[in-house]
Amino acid sequence: MTSTISVTVWGEFRHEKKNPKVSSIYPEGMHEAIASALRRAPDLAVRTATLDEPDHGLPTDVLERTDVLVWWGHLAHQEVSDAVAAEVQRRVLEGMGLIVLHSGHYSKVFKRLMGTTCSLKWREATDKERLWNVAPSHPITEGVGDYFELPQEEMYGEPFGIPTPDELIFISWFTGGEVFRSGATWQRGHGRVFYFRPGHETYPTYHDANVQRIVLNAVRWARPTVRIKDSAPCSPPLEPLPPAPSS
């Protein structure tokens, strides 16, 4: 394992082409905003990939070289091929890290890895979001205070149809009164998964310094410790076995 972490930021890249409000906030695309913040870290090598590229920008050789995959999707979850979703799942089980952002909660890759509905309540209105750091000693919250606020965000509310997280990192409160498990981790096979809620496309959330720090912390936390190919071999004995009983 090299010291440089190879990161692929995957973006659906559809809202930016349809909605001038989104493209004014993210002129190069949301994936490029997320990636450019990560590129400031000297220990990361960052590429991007988008839905409309061949293999959604995730051919075998790219996934082979990816230590941590960051995923943002919303409009077109169903256009992600089952084959690519299955391949991403397999890579996570082998050890690749996965960071799922915002509406990626309904992506094929996240639902496959969680095995649950991943449903939630939502509202696009005038809520403020306050994210409480409930794991102040966790590497993902390094440099983050007790809480931080995003002045405008979409509301996501409980119940969130996820399996009980291995670790709960953030809990969000919204102006309308709802709360939400907005940062959570799971181990899946040999890979680490982090879900992080903020990031609705019509707000400048990925320009926020706390959000950028948390995504960077999460990438470092999720880097693989091993990459172990799945196999189920017939195994020879380590010691001589007694003879089979005569029939």
Q: Which residue ranges make up the site for Zn ion (CB under 5 A)?
A: 103, 154, 200
Q: How far is the CB of 123 from Zn ion (least distance, A)?
A: 10
Collapse the DSSP code of 209 into the 3-class scheme (helix H, G, I; strand E, B; otherwise coil) and give the result: helix
Q: How far is the CB of 106 from Zn ion (least distance, A)?
A: 10
Cis peptide before 159 (omega within 30 of 0): yes
Q: At what angle do helices 209-222 and 30-38 cross, to 10 degrees?
A: 70
- What is the rounded distance in angstroms from the CA atom of residue 32 to the CA atom of residue 47? 9
Q: How far is the CB of 164 from Zn ion (least distance, A)?
A: 24
Quick one: which of 101, 91, 79, 55 has its CA closest to 194? 101
- Closest to Zn ion by CB, 44 vs 80, is 80
Which class for 18: exposed (0-12), middle (13-18), buried (19 or more C-beta within 10 A)?
exposed
- What is the rounded distance in angstroms from the CA atom of residue 84 to the CA atom of residue 52? 13
- What is the rounded distance in angstroms from the CA atom of residue 148 to the CA atom of residue 42? 26
Q: How far is the CB of 202 from Zn ion (least distance, A)?
A: 8
- Closest to Zn ion by CB, 57 vs 199, is 199
- What is the rounded distance in angstroms from the CA atom of residue 221 to the CA atom of residue 169? 13
- Closest to Zn ion by CB, 89 vs 103, is 103
- Helix, strand, coil content of the chain in percent (nearest 5): 30, 25, 45
What is the signed CA dihedral for 87, 110, 47, 210, rounded to 10 degrees?
-160
Q: How far is the CB of 33 from Zn ion (least distance, A)?
A: 15
- Closest to Zn ion by CB, 32 vs 154, is 154
Q: How far is the CB of 200 from Zn ion (least distance, A)?
A: 4
Nearest residue to Zn ion, using CB? 200
- Closest to Zn ion by CB, 44 vs 99, is 99
Q: How far is the CB of 103 from Zn ion (least distance, A)?
A: 5
- Closest to Zn ion by CB, 105 vs 138, is 105
- Closest to Zn ion by CB, 180 vs 221, is 180
